[in-house]
């Protein structure tokens, strides 16, 4: 099977299930979005939440996708930057245990932390301190990292570093990799739409949810799919409970969402969807089969807090996705 390399912000997620939205308002965070916070505000936030119940897991959009691909049995690698601290060791060991080939650089800055607030409706809001992840630069990229890989999966949050993302995409294309991009968050797209438009011209597969697609194209999901497909070989738009859409040339397909009795936490739903889609795509399956594989993974991760699925769930997913 073709190998898949990911690059993104290497983060540790600290998850806070909430009974209401008051804390989000008190912290002046925008519900449902990812907002960057600096070191000072991060320390304030940690103090504010020192007594709150929380759980810890690895995070970062592309990192979630790569870890899920590895659990499916795909050959994967990951590029990122972590700190020389307990969170950094936790992050490294989690990926090594899953069989991911590490391309993890280290720094004196602390490992990045995404404080994740989960409201009763399952929506998640991020206050993200990038820490060491923010220090990743274009000159850090090493040419032979691409060797043996067929796909590069990029999280859209990196778009805020134009020099890094431009060099990354150009070098990956020169090495013959299929370039895949997730649009990350609607507010990120809104803030840098012109650069995204340039980047999509060099992108082979783009993933967006309906808010991100609308932020880019200025129209609802179905029409936004057409806009995205005009610049990318494959465009994918996720429409939540209504499933997902994809278009490649004249081929347009849709699949329904897998029914879930209760949505616990939407964290990483899009990341896991991308993992299922890319696994099937790398195996040479049809567009509808790729969407169906993505829907299966997304349905499982929204049943739990965070991204950690039980071993028996992964076994079932490997049987239904990998052996389809």
- State how far the alpha carbon of 170 is from the alpha carbons of 108, 146, 201, 207, 248, in Å: 29, 12, 11, 19, 22
Give the pLDDT score at 16. Answer: 86
pLDDT digits (tens, 9 = 90+) for 45-74: 888 777 778 888 898 899 999 999 999 999
Give the pLDDT score at 17. Answer: 86
Q: Which of 203, 137, 135 is nearest to 170 (CA)?
A: 203
Query: Is a pLDDT exceeding 90 seen at residue 267?
Result: no
* pLDDT, the chain, mean: 91
pLDDT digits (tens, 9 = 90+) for 162-214: 999 999 999 999 999 999 999 988 888 999 999 999 999 999 999 999 999 99
* Sequence spans of domains, the chain: 4-9+61-108+130-322
CATH superfamily of 4-9+61-108+130-322: Ribokinase (3.40.1190.20)
pLDDT digits (tens, 9 = 90+) for 301-312: 999 877 889 999
What backbone phi and psi angles, to 5 degrees, belong to 267?
Answer: -55, 130
- Rounded to 5°, the CA angle 250-251-254 comes to 135
Calculate mean pLDDT across residues 289-302: 96
Query: Is a pLDDT exceeding 90 seen at residue 6?
Result: yes
Among the residues of the chain, which ranges form H helices? 22-26, 39-48, 61-72, 86-97, 162-174, 186-191, 193-200, 210-217, 221-229, 269-282, 287-301, 311-317
Query: Is a pLDDT exceeding 90 seen at residue 318?
Result: yes
**Percent above pLDDT 70 for the chain:** 100
* CA separation for the pair 119, 122 (Å, rounded): 6
Residues 6+ apart with CB under 8 A from 313: 300
């Amino acid at each position: 099977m073709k190998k898949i390399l990911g690059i993104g912000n290497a983060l540790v997620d600290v998850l806070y299930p909430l009974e209401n939205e008051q804390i989000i308002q008190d912290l002046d965070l925008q519900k449902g979005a990812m907002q960057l916070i600096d070191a000072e505000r991060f320390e304030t936030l940690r103090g504010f939440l020192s007594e709150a119940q929380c759980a810890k897991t690895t995070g970062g959009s592309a990192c979630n996708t790569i870890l899920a691909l590895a659990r499916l049995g795909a050959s994967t690698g990951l590029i990122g930057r972590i700190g020389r601290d307990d969170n950094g060791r936790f992050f490294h060991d989690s990926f090594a245990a899953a069989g991911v080939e590490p391309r993890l650089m280290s720094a004196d800055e602390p490992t990045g932390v995404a404080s994740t607030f989960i409201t009763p409706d399952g929506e998640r809001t991020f206050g993200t301190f990038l820490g060491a992840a923010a220090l990743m630069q274009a000159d850090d990229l090493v040419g032979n990292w691409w060797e043996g890989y067929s796909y590069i999966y990029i999280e859209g949050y990196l778009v805020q570093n134009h020099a890094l993302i431009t060099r990354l995409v150009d070098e990956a294309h020169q090495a013959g990799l299929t370039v895949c991009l997730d649009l990350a968050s609607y507010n990120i797209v809104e803030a840098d739409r012109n650069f995204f438009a340039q980047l999509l011209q060099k992108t082979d597969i783009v993933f967006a949810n309906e808010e991100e697609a609308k932020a880019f194209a200025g129209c609802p999901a179905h029409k936004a799919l057409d806009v995205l497909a005009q610049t990318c070989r494959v465009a994918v738009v996720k429409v939540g409970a209504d499933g997902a859409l994809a278009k490649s040339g004249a081929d347009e397909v849709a699949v329904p969402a897998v029914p879930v009795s209760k949505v616990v936490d939407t964290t990483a739903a899009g990341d896991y969807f991308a993992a299922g889609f890319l696994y099937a795509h790398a195996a040479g399956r049809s567009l509808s089969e790729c969407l169906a594989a993505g829907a299966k993974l997304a349905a499982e991760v929204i049943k739990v807090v965070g991204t950690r699925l039980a071993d028996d769930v992964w076994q079932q997913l490997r049987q239904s996705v990998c052996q389809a």
